[in-house]
């Protein structure tokens, strides 16, 4: 039970934390209105077959089908998809809630360190409100970042308690202290594992905890190293998995755009200074920045790396001379160690896009905010005359951060706003140009999008993405010849690119170059059996060639990949009907309707199979009528093929007047569409229904 003396203190803590969180809510209030950016977030959620597949959750954990092996994060997406579907609002609310949770966990961590309430308040406010955090909070794809850091902060808190318990064991009840220390250590290790399974952004945490032990808790190096070894082994294993997954993001045909080892060392030396600059002056923030012209042979690009090493050596020297406190040494080491895997030492996909990204600051900056808060608190204590100015300065800094954050959040509203900002900040960034082009295409501004695609091609003529996306834009704009040229150029650069192969196949199919289209679809499926566009195109072409026996396995493969993909279910049912397996076809329709109750094609086929099956046992006229009416409602009674089936269903159920009306409406729609045979058939049916007979 809380003692009377502790209750006021607890109340003060809650008030302090509540004020910070309320200001944070105000700064991020607009996140609930944001949508999808189309940059990773849709690939993770709305376009991922794992969100809808019957065994999707299992596959998240035991296959390599996810964009990255972060099974806890993708499990969270899987749960959110069940709650929110394709609507972005719920995901943004969850992302913001994770940020608020992390702010509270940071507050708790600072208090666990035994630091004053004033330090916890300032550090938490800076962490919660600093504009560099917007990229993590506003980007659905970075829920992995927020989730990983929640486990990181909990792991750090448990580590501190473990260290303190071990220290008490040497001066008090050794058995009790050792037991508690082991328990807290096990918790710290487990939480670290959960963080790594959310995102390997916490890879540097074991070494950062050693720094925390020595510079903040005055614990021995030896004990810390022994405790860190299991964490380091776990970190190494999961880092190897992440590195293997990241290779998917590196275009092998454009390896010249990936920095070599010397260039990556130069980037690693310069990046900390770029991050420090954004922490001190968060202006011009963006999802992507211009890539520096690093050159392994250029001495000037080695100077930032030398400055980084010299600065670190100076900090350690000043600490030994007792000129600066251990909190600064720990904060700098924590920041560098958490940033370390992303600085450039390890090649990963993001380096081909931008050398620095502010979401990497999310785990790294927390210790720096704590160190700043400690320094401010000590200045106020040692210089009482400056205390009011220090407090006002801290409040003003937090509020200034809140204002900048509030203004920055709307840039994440959609792809166009996000990448417009990126192009303003980094006009020569290839990915920014591509992203803006995609956003403009979604907005229906094909002409402006084409300019951005062409700009991207000029920036990196050897990269596949720009040629492929330009081809799709030209195709959608009704320029098939230019689209074909762009696709063929993309295939020259990357002959084994399954998506480009399927896209070119689809274009050639529309242009009636059927033999080559079929061959390309076959190649696309061979290259990537899970590619929906390739499987679907190949299966439909087989149907067009009256080869249902060849189409069926591909439709069935799509159903296994995506159980709720109604076109694949309809394809299976169509093949089965053509093969004389009406009962199986009807069962496939029913199974598909359990996943997609409003799928018009499935409703229509189900109705048709029940109206006049060759197997009389399948006949079910009332149910056929219900399905036909549902299909007509779903198409707003504007589809003459649907109305033809509905008219027949009404007639066999005894309402010839309604059947005649629907047939007449269908005939007019067929006439307007220029489908003379359908119009004539519906007019004849109308005459039969008016005469009270079935056609």
3-state class (DSSP) for residue 333: helix
- Assess whether pLDDT exceeds 90 at residue 351: no
Residue pair 525/538 in contact (Cβ under 8 Å)? The answer is yes
Residue 129 lies in a domain: yes
Residue 122 lies in a domain: yes
**DSSP of 77-123:** HHHHHHHHTT-HHHHHHHHHHHHHHHHHHHHHHHHHTT--HHHHHHH
Query: Residue 5 and residue 680: Cα distance in Å, rounded?
Result: 91
What b/e readout covers 68-85, taking b as 16+ CB neighbours within 10 angstroms? bbbbbbbbbbbebbeebe
445 DSSP 8-state letter:
-
Name which of 242-251, 312-321, 646-655 the model is least confident about: 242-251
**Interhelix angle 221-246/143-169, nearest 10 degrees:** 160
Which pLDDT score is estimated for 197? 95
Residue 641 lies in a domain: yes
- What's this model's pTM, rounded to 2 decimal places? 0.84
pLDDT digits (tens, 9 = 90+) for 201-230: 899 999 999 999 999 998 888 888 888 999
Where a domain ends, among 382, 412, 442? 412
Number of H helices, E strands in the chain: 32, 0
Residue 178 pLDDT class (50, 70, 90 cuts): low
Query: Residue 604 and residue 596: Cα distance in Å, rounded?
Result: 13
Residue 429 lies in a domain: no
Where a domain ends, among 389, 412, 435? 412
Residue 247 pLDDT class (50, 70, 90 cuts): low
Query: Residue 512 and residue 514: Cα distance in Å, rounded?
Result: 5
Which pLDDT score is estimated for 420? 96
Name the nearest CA neighbour of 202 among 65, 102, 309. 102
Question: Average pLDDT of 343-369?
Answer: 90
Instruction: Calculate what percentage of the chain has a pLDDT beyond 90.
Output: 77
Locate 75 and state its tokens: 């499990």
Name which of 88-92, 443-447, 481-485 the model is least confident about: 443-447
Which pLDDT score is estimated for 5? 43
Give the count of domains, the chain: 2
Which pLDDT score is estimated for 251? 47
Write out the H or E segment, with its range, that includes residue 375.
Answer: helix 361-382
Q: Considering only residues 670 and 254, tell me which one the structure prediction assigns the higher pLDDT.
A: 670
Residue 192 lies in a domain: yes
Residue 538 lies in a domain: no
Locate 465 and state its tokens: 């993405």
3-state class (DSSP) for residue 624: helix
Residue 564 pLDDT class (50, 70, 90 cuts): confident
Residue pair 349/426 in contact (Cβ under 8 Å)? The answer is no
Locate 206 and state its tokens: 């074991």
Residue pair 361/132 in contact (Cβ under 8 Å)? The answer is yes
Write out the H or E segment, with its range, that includes residue 47.
Answer: none
575 DSSP 8-state letter:
H
pLDDT digits (tens, 9 = 90+) for 104-127: 999 999 999 999 999 999 999 999
Which domain range does residue 693 map to? 636-695
Query: Residue 14 and residue 205: Cα distance in Å, rounded?
Result: 28
Exposure of 602 in the CB half-sphere (CA atoms within 13 A): 22
Name the nearest CA neighbour of 656 among 611, 682, 688. 688
Which pLDDT score is estimated for 222? 81
Which pLDDT score is estimated for 254? 45
- Assess whether pLDDT exceeds 90 at residue 616: no
Question: Average pLDDT of 348-371?
Answer: 92
Q: Considering only residues 180 and 506, tell me which one the structure prediction assigns the higher pLDDT.
A: 506
Q: What is the 3-state secondary structure (H, E, C) of 381-437?
A: HHCHHHHHHHHHHHHHHHHHHHHHHHHHHHHHCCHHHHHHHHHHHCCCCHHHHHHHH
Q: At which residue do the structure tokens 């720009």 appear?
A: 466
Contacts for 532 with CB less than 8 Å, ≥ 6 apart: 49, 558, 561, 562, 565
Query: Residue 128 and residue 136: Cα distance in Å, rounded?
Result: 11
Where a domain ends, among 412, 438, 455? 412
Which pLDDT score is estimated for 169? 61
CA distances 432 to 134, 224, 354, 459, 466, Å, are: 18, 44, 10, 11, 11
Residue 2 pLDDT class (50, 70, 90 cuts): very low
Which pLDDT score is estimated for 124? 97
Query: Residue 294 and residue 300: Cα distance in Å, rounded?
Result: 9
Residue 170 pLDDT class (50, 70, 90 cuts): low
- Assess whether pLDDT exceeds 50 at residue 3: no
Question: Average pLDDT of 512-527?
Answer: 95
- What does the longest C-alpha to C-alpha distance in the chain come to? 106
Residue 542 lies in a domain: no
Name which of 167-171, 178-182, 303-307, 646-650 the model is least confident about: 167-171
CA distances 623 to 495, 567, 610, 630, 695, Å, are: 50, 22, 8, 11, 20
Q: What is the 3-state secondary structure (H, E, C) of 619-641?
A: CCHHHHHHHHHHHHHHCCCCCHH
Residue 553 lies in a domain: no
Residue pair 155/231 in contact (Cβ under 8 Å)? The answer is no
Q: At which residue do the structure tokens 């098939």 appear?
A: 480
pLDDT digits (tens, 9 = 90+) for 17-60: 999 999 999 999 999 999 999 999 999 999 888 898 888 899 99
What b/e readout covers 345-365, taking b as 16+ CB neighbours within 10 angstroms? ebbbebbbbbbbbbbbbbbbb
Residue pair 467/251 in contact (Cβ under 8 Å)? The answer is no
Taken in order 518, 523, 529, 533, the sign of the CA dihedral is negative
Write out the H or E segment, with its range, that includes residue 269.
Answer: helix 261-280
């Amino acid at each position: 039970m809380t003692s009377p003396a502790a209750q006021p203190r607890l109340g003060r803590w809650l008030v302090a934390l509540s004020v910070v969180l309320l200001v944070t809510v105000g700064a991020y209030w607009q996140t609930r209105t944001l949508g999808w950016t189309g940059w990773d977030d849709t690939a993770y959620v709305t376009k991922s077959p794992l969100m809808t597949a019957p065994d999707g959750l299992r596959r998240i954990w035991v296959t390599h089908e996810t964009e990255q092996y972060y099974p806890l994060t993708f499990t969270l997406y899987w749960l959110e998809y069940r709650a929110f579907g394709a609507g972005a609002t719920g995901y943004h609310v969850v992302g913001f809630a994770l940020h608020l949770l992390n702010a509270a966990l940071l507050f708790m961590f600072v208090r666990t360190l035994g630091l004053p309430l004033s330090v916890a308040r300032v550090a938490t406010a800076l962490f919660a409100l600093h504009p560099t955090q917007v990229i993590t909070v506003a980007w659905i794809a970075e829920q992995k970042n927020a989730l990983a850091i929640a486990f990181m902060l909990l792991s750090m808190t448990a580590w501190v308690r473990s260290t303190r318990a071990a220290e008490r064991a040497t001066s008090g009840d050794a058995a009790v202290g050792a037991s508690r220390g082991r328990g807290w250590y096990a918790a710290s290790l487990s939480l670290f594992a959960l963080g790594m399974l959310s995102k390997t952004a916490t890879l540097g945490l074991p070494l950062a905890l050693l720094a925390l032990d020595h510079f903040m808790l005055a614990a021995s190096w030896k004990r810390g190293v022994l405790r860190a070894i299991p964490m380091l082994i776990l970190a190494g294993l999961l880092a190897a998995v992440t590195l293997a997954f990241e290779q998917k993001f590196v275009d092998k045909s454009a390896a010249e755009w990936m920095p070599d080892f010397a260039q990556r060392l130069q980037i690693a030396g310069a990046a900390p200074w770029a991050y420090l600059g954004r922490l001190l002056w968060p202006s011009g923030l963006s999802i992507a920045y211009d890539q520096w012209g690093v050159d392994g042979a250029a001495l000037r690009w080695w100077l930032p790396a030398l400055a980084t090493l010299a600065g670190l050596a100076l900090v350690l020297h000043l600490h030994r001379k007792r000129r600066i406190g251990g909190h600064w040494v720990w904060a700098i080491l924590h920041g560098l160690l958490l940033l370390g895997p992303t600085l450039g030492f390890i090649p990963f996909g993001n380096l081909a896009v931008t050398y620095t990204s502010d979401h990497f600051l999310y785990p790294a900056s927390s210790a720096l905010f704590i160190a700043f808060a400690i320094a401010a608190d000590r200045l106020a204590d040692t210089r009482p005359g400056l205390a009011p100015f220090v407090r006002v300065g801290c409040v003003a800094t937090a509020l200034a951060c809140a204002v900048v954050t509030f203004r920055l959040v709307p840039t994440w509203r959609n792809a166009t706003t996000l990448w417009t900002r990126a192009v303003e900040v980094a006009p020569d960034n290839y990915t920014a140009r591509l992203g803006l082009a995609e956003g403009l295409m979604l907005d229906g501004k094909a002409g402006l999008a084409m300019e951005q695609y062409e700009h991207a091609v000029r920036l990196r003529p050897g990269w596949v993405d720009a040629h492929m996306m330009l081809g799709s834009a030209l195709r959608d704009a009704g320029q098939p010849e230019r689209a074909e040229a762009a696709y063929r150029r993309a295939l020259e650069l990357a002959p084994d690119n399954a998506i480009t192969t399927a896209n070119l196949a689809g274009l050639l199919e529309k242009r009636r170059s059927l033999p080559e289209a079929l061959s390309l679809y076959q190649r696309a499926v061979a290259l990537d059996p899970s590619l929906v566009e390739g499987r679907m195109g190949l299966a439909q072409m087989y149907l067009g060639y009256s080869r249902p026996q060849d189409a069926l396995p591909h439709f069935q493969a799509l159903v296994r990949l995506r159980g709720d993909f109604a076109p694949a279910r309809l394809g299976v049912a169509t093949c089965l009907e053509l093969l004389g397996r009406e009962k199986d076809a009807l069962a496939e329709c029913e199974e598909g309707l359990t996943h997609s109750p409003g799928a018009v094609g499935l409703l229509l086929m189900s109705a048709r199979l029940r109206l006049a099956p060759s197997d009389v046992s399948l006949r079910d006229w009332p149910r056929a009528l219900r399905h036909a009416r549902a299909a007509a409602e779903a198409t707003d009674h504007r589809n003459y093929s649907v109305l033809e089936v509905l008219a027949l269903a009404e007639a066999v159920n005894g309402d010839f007047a309604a059947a005649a009306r629907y047939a007449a409406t269908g005939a007019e729609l067929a006439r307007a569409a220029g489908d003379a045979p359908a119009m004539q058939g519906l007019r004849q049916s109308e005459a039969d229904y008016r005469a009270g007979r079935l056609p």
